[in-house]
Amino acid sequence: MDAGPSDVAMLTHEPLDPYVASQLGRTTPPEFHFEHMTPATRMLQKRKEVLEVQHALDLEKATFAQVMSKVEEKAAVLEQTKEKLLMTRQNYDGIIMSQDKAYEDCVANIERCNALLEKYDLELRAKSRTLKDLSKRLAKRKLTAERLRAYPEFLSKLPRDDYDFKEESDITERYNTLDSTKVALVEQTKRWTKKHSSESRAIKAAIESQRNEIVKMWTQINRKRKELEELRDETKRLEADFDLMLARSTDETRELGVILMATANLYDTVAKRPYLTESAGAKADVSSKALLQLEAIEQRYLDLKTICNELTALREGAEAAAAGGGAL
């Protein structure tokens, strides 16, 4: 049974502005409040609000259900990821355990190798000491063999006769002979040793003298090299000075040529004057050398200067005479 307008009016005190606006196209007037509604209208208003709340609740439930489904999906994914991580951890634990086992085996092998190396090192040192001892013994044996080598040679030189000593004097004589031979050999060995020592000292002195001589020669060579370098530097300096002098002499020769040419031209110019009377031989002799040409030019200059002075004196005398005649 639907509620009437009076029931709706009893459930709410709010105006029906949205409902009236949607139904009538306008809002309720300001003076149209909850107390002016009929009970049926009030019931409809309340039912509408309940439906709106129910609809909002349903929407929230649907949203919550979606969120819960996503949460469950994520939880399932997390569970799968957790299982995978556990499996991966177990695998890594197995790998780490195997690597630890391999590391322990390597450490054990290294320790065994170090022990073997120490053992071999000790054995090698012992064998080295044994080898040194054997080398020393061999050297001593070689020296002994070298010393004893003279006896077989001496015995080989003795006559191979069957000695038949019939008298004690023969034995004594043979002993004396052998003893004198031994003494002679010892003396000869001493002489040889002394001679060898003196020759060794002489050789050492000669070597030392040669070394000193070589040092002196190297000193002289170095001094000669230094002198050679100084001579080379001096030669270079002299060559540079010679080049400079050659350049200067070239310039001076060029200037001398210019002077000679100017002198010849000047002489030719002076010699062409009509008041200069000179023979061809004299002219050829003067023109052959610049110095003679300059002397001839100087002489001509002095002659001309004398002539000019005389002309000046005559002119002054004439002027003075003319001035005196005018005064009379």
Angle between the 168-271 and 280-287 helix axes, to the nearest 10 degrees? 140
pLDDT (tens digit per residue) in 65-99: 888 888 888 888 888 888 888 888 888 788 888 88
Record the tokens describing residue 207, joined without a space: 């070597």
CB contact at 8 A, 1 and 35: no
Instruction: Report CA Rg, the chain.
Output: 75
Which residue reads 């003319």 in tokens?
Answer: 322
DSSP 207-234: HHHHHHHHHHHHHHHHHHHHHHHHHHHH
CB contact at 8 A, 78 and 41: no
Going from N- to C-terminal start, the domains of the chain cover 5-145, 273-328
CB contact at 8 A, 10 and 39: yes
Arithmetic mean of pLDDT, 268-279: 53
Select the more confidently predicted residue: 16 or 157.
157
Collapse the DSSP code of 197 into the 3-class scheme (helix H, G, I; strand E, B; otherwise coil) and give the result: helix
Q: What is the pTM of this model?
A: 0.25
Arithmetic mean of pLDDT, 270-286: 48
AA letter at 16? L
Strands (E), 182-281: none
Record the tokens describing residue 165, joined without a space: 């000593």
Distance CA 245, CA 253 (A): 12
Share of the chain above pLDDT 90, in %: 0
Distance CA 315, CA 292 (A): 34
Arithmetic mean of pLDDT, 26-53: 69
Select the more confidently predicted residue: 191 or 24.
191
AA letter at 202? A
Give me the sign of the Cα torsion angle 194, 199, 200, 204: positive
